[in-house]
């Protein structure tokens, strides 16, 4: 069996491949441009790179190329173009030029733009992003060279998720270098944002999922009673992985390894049929591309193992939903993690400056983080079971909290990074104890040498949440740098920084919380602290329009004011359309499956009841009442369906914001009422009559 090291990155046009296939001067110019060098790539260099890239890709079996980009659907998009062309004499040849590598022109009219263009204006461009390596996706009959790209309108307006992210990365990295310079780090050449996104997901039997229109069309169940056994026994978490699932995971890992993605962790999650992959940390832009690629590969391989992959944030009611815990840190060119406490006091002052910058930014712009994780699916997840609540707060742990709150007494000689746990048995090794526990209820938690943003939804692109988190942090770093510089005339860097940190400790007190975020008293406390609280997706998305948030993104050159409004409208439109589809699917299932099944059950019970009363001397009142209750449920379902139909007709005539308000205030509650009625009927429907697989069947892997 091949070891992963023997084929890792085989399908990636990475630095090793470039070094082997490009002339030395071209390789040096390309890598210089990738690493932020002073010169942009010219067409001559691009021609050489394109030729080498084509030869490499075709040697693997690729027949086409595609600019692979991230429109604001949060999915990926690609337009395949053949290498094959004909010369002027009709002879076939394979060609790929530098201009084709640098730029392509997909039809942009049907992709979301938030009103920045009319649908009849079709021109849009994709442009090569050389900082994320090209890769080949193979099929049984060939393959496609995928070129990571940005996507923009003909006038240069970004229409994707990647361009704002790249701008946010540039904003924080430049400001991080400035802060490092204040601490005397003259030899640091660059700072990079490093990210690791933990991907949670469900696997269910594909043969059963295909029988449920809600899973096929919505990615989640709109109806269904809780199973007799859910996650009550907590026996699935970190359990032995089911052999079929393990085989699936191994195949996914093998494909991801070829694509240069190192999976470090795989395990059972809390809910039945729920699992997780966690990759190794890498650069933020690459991590974002790799997470999109991971979801694509996972989805493609699942049917080969008889599974359907579910990435929805809440595919099943009553059990855990799925998130994408997004871990983030900063690394400098000397290899230091800037969020790693050490035994060096000066380094720890620097560490606290970066940490303080983030919590200062969150204390001012927490609403922007809440907006970044607002999606149709995440609304069902946040605040339930393992998911963090919708109130953005920061958990630092007891050690760092004590350091911040006691700065008036002076700075400690060292910040303990870990302790030793002696288990008292010579047969067992001693263990390292971190300087703080983990708070699974906190949306944003410091976990020893990184921050973990736990509110990101499983189906989301991490580009959106990352963009906003980096914007907030970039502002904080700039603010900390300004405050330190203003004090340097009267004190040294350590005293100036400690003075700034004392202020930050006070200013960030509103957003720091060390307790249980699930506790109902936290909601009241958050209100008292003045923290933004949004329990619905439209309310959370409206935070993008807050003047302070718009000013922040504009001042950092991440988004223009026009782009911010368009981004808000795109997200809100996604919410409205998603909920409209769900209402339509629910109506279809009730009309064509649930109502007929109730009729069959009533007929079956009625016939049996009539026979029983004719031969036995009993009124069977309970039995009779149950038959009547099924009839009542059917009558109420007819009434609620008519209400749902009228609501959908009304929505079609409303503006975007009016539609979202109507769906949120009336549509969701109406869907919940319909579900309650349907689930009540399901309890009494015979298995032979049941129109779709139940939770009992779905949440078991055969």
- For 159-202, the DSSP string reads -BSHHHHHHHHHHHHHHHHHHHHHTT-TT---EEEEEEEEEEEE
Q: Which two tokens stand for residue 250?
A: 């191994």
Q: What is the pLDDT of residue 423?
A: 44
Q: Mean pLDDT in runs of 10 for the chain (702 residues)?
A: 92 96 94 82 92 97 96 93 91 93 80 64 84 95 96 88 97 97 93 97 98 97 94 90 98 98 96 97 97 98 98 96 96 95 84 96 97 95 78 92 78 58 51 64 92 96 98 98 92 91 94 91 93 95 98 98 95 96 98 97 94 90 94 97 96 94 97 98 95 96 94
Mention the CATH class of domain 168-221+232-423+430-559: alpha beta
Q: List beta partners, residue 431.
A: 421
Q: Are 299 and 173 in contact (CB under 8 A)?
A: no
Give the number of C-alpha atoms closer than 13 A to the C-alpha of residue 343, restricted to the C-beta side.
Answer: 2
Residue in 440, 246, 435 with CA at minimum distance from that of residue 325: 440
Burial grade of 426 (CB within 10 A; 0-12, 13-18, 19 or more):
exposed
Among candidate residues 142, 123, 129, the one with its CA nearest the CA of residue 61? 142
Q: Is 668 exposed, middle or buried (0-12, 13-18, 19+ CB in 10 A)?
A: middle
- Which class would CATH give 576-698? mainly alpha
Tokens of 398: 């007891």
β-bridge mates for residue 337, sequence order: 331
Three-state SS at 352: helix
**What is the rounded end-to-end Cα distance, in angstroms, of the chain?**
28
> Alpha helix (H) ranges present in 87-142?
98-102
Residue 591 carries which DSSP code?
A: I
CA 101, CA 84: separation in Å to the nearest integer? 15
pLDDT score for 135: 98
Q: How many angstroms separate the CA atoms of 272 and 699, rounded?
A: 6
Q: How far apart are CA 201 and CA 458, in angstroms?
A: 7
CATH (residue range 4-159): 3.10.20.70
Q: Is 37 helix (H, G, I), strand (E, B) or coil?
A: coil
- Residue ranges covered by each domain of the chain: 4-159, 168-221+232-423+430-559, 576-698
Structure tokens at 563: 């782009």
Minimal CA–CA distance to 146: which of 162, 159, 129?
Answer: 129
pLDDT at 469: 98
């Amino acid at each position: 069996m091949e070891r992963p090291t023997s084929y890792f990155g085989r399908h990636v046009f990475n630095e090793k491949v470039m070094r082997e296939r490009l002339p030395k001067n071209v390789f040096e110019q390309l890598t210089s441009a990738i690493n932020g060098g002073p010169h942009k790539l010219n067409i001559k260099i691009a021609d050489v790179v394109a030729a080498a890239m084509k030869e490499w890709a075709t040697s693997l079996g690729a027949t086409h190329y595609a600019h692979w980009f991230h429109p604001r659907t949060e999915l990926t998009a690609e337009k395949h173009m053949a290498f094959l062309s004909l010369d002027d004499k009709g002879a076939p040849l394979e060609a790929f030029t530098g201009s084709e590598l640098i730029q392509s022109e997909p039809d942009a009219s049907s992709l979301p733009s938030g009103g920045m263009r009319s649908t009849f204006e079709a021109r849009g461009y994709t442009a090569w992003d050389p900082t994320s390596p090209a890769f080949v996706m193979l099929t049984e009959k060939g393959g496609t060279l995928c070129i990571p790209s940005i996507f923009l309108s003909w006038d240069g307006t970004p229409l994707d998720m990647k361009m704002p992210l790249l701008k946010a990365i540039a904003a924080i990295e430049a400001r991080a270098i400035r802060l490092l310079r204040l601490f005397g780090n003259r030899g640091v050449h660059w700072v990079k944002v490093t990210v690791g996104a933990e991907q949670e997901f469900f696997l269910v039997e594909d043969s059963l999922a295909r029988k449920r229109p809600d899973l096929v069309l919505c990615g989640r169940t709109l109806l269904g009673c809780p199973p007799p056994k859910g996650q009550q026994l907590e026996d699935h978490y970190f359990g032995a992985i089911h052999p079929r699932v393990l085989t699936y995971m191994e195949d996914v890992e093998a494909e991801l390894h070829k694509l240069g993605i190192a999976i470090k962790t795989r395990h059972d999650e809390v809910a039945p049929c729920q699992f997780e992959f966690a990759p190794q940390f890498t650069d933020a832009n690459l991590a974002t591309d790799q997470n999109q690629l991971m979801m694509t590969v996972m989805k493609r391989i699942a049917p080969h193992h008889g599974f359907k992959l579910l990435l929805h944030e809440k595919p099943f009611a009553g059990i855990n939903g799925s998130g994408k815990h997004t871990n983030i840190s900063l690394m400098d060119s000397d290899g230091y993690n800037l969020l790693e406490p050490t035994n060096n006091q000066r380094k720890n002052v620097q560490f606290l400056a970066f940490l303080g910058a983030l919590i200062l930014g969150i204390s001012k712009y927490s609403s922007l983080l809440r907006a970044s994780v607002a999606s149709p699916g995440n609304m069902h997840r946040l605040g339930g079971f393992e998911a963090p609540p919708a109130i953005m707060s920061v958990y630092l742990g007891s050690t760092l909290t004590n350091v911040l709150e006691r700065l008036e007494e002076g700075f400690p000689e060292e910040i303990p990074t870990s302790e030793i746990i002696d288990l008292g048995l010579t047969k067992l090794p001693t263990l390292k104890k971190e300087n703080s526990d983990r708070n699974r209820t906190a949306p944003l938690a410091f976990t020893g040498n990184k921050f973990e943003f736990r509110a990101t939804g499983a189906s989301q692109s991490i580009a959106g949440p990352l963009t906003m988190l980096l914007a907030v942090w970039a502002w904080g770093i700039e603010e900390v740098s300004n405050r330190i510089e203003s004090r340097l005339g009267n004190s040294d860097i350590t005293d100036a920084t400690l003075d700034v940190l004392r202020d930050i400790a006070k200013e960030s007190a509103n957003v720091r919380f060390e307790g249980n975020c699930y506790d109902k008293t936290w909601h009241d406390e958050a209100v008292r602290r003045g923290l933004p609280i949004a329990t619905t997706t439209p309310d959370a998305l409206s935070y993008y329009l807050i003047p302070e948030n718009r000013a922040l993104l504009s001042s950092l050159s991440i988004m223009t004011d026009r782009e911010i409004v368009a981004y808000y409208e795109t997200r809100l439109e996604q919410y409205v359309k998603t909920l409209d589809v769900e209402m339509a699917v629910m109506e279809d299932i009730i009309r064509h499956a649930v109502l007929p099944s109730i009729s069959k059950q009533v007929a079956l019970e009625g016939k049996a009841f009539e026979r029983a009363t004719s031969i036995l001397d009993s009124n069977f009142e309970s039995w009779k009442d149950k038959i009547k209750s099924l009839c009542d449920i059917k009558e109420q379902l007819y009434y609620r369906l008519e209400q749902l139909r009228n609501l959908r007709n009304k929505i079609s005539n409303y503006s975007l914001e009016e539609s979202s308000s109507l769906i949120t205030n009336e549509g969701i509650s109406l869907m919940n009422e319909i579900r309650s009625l349907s689930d009540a009927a399901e309890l009494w429907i015979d298995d032979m009559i049941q129109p779709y697989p139940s939770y009992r069947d779905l949440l078991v892997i055969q």
